[in-house]
Structure 1
Amino acid sequence: MLENLNMWEFVGLLLLALLIFGDRLPKVIGDGMRLVRNLRNMARSATTDLSRELGTDIQLEDLHPKAFIRKHLLSEEEEQAIRKPLQGVYDDLRSDVTGVHDELKDVAVAADPRGTAGRPAATSGTAPAQRVASYDDAT
């Protein structure tokens, strides 16, 4: 966190802390450090207890639900079995959206007698298909 601060910002924060807390600043810093230390100890003991209960080695990063399930509850085969049907749905949806997009492009080109469907529209009163085609060509 402190690596994002330059020297002047750090000095400014220190002066602000001195103005707010005055002579109590060392006690406030000590209390803050004690709080951080206690939170780390609680997290460490929680991961140790969880590791002991599950019989696996759990790190603090593994407590994210997705990472926990992926690493400790599912085998690679089970994970692939879960992903396979979802991947098929994703591929089908992507191909459908691509088909609709191509059809909209064709309609925009066919509906424009001047052949300007590929250029950005100058007014806001253009047809939606023309706006889709011009946006797609611009990106």
Structure 2
Amino acid sequence: MQKTRLLLVDDEQVFLANTAQRFARRNVDVETASNGAQALELLNSMAFDVAVLDISMPGMGGLKLLEKLRGIAPQTEVILLSGYASTETALRGLALGASEYMLKPVPFDELYFKVVEAARTAETLGASGEDNEHS
């Protein structure tokens, strides 16, 4: 399996920095964005296997970002994070194509496992649904 490319989007700077650092230590290629607009810029300029999106952010929230992401990068697996338990929000996120909905504070090891699992799914879908550039 190749190195996982992760987009981590959250407006909480301490969480963003600490979590990105921990993923990097585990050999994950991580890019960060502190809002939806920054995330869209990154999504338009590079491919990601997995995106972890905070649902509640100023401006464009995670669900709106997920809608836009689906148009730009439909192959990217998405994990939603929320500080508030909401069945309605979870169901909406899953209906929009998120693979997971997790409540903060989420233990890092649990998040890491879900990212690895999602990256495997993305790799499998990419291998079966796209031309192989390395032929």
- Normalised-by-shorter TM-score class: under 0.3
TM-score (norm 1): 0.17
TM-score (norm 2): 0.18
The structure with the largest helix share of the pair is 1
Tell which structure's C-alpha radius of gyration is larger.
1
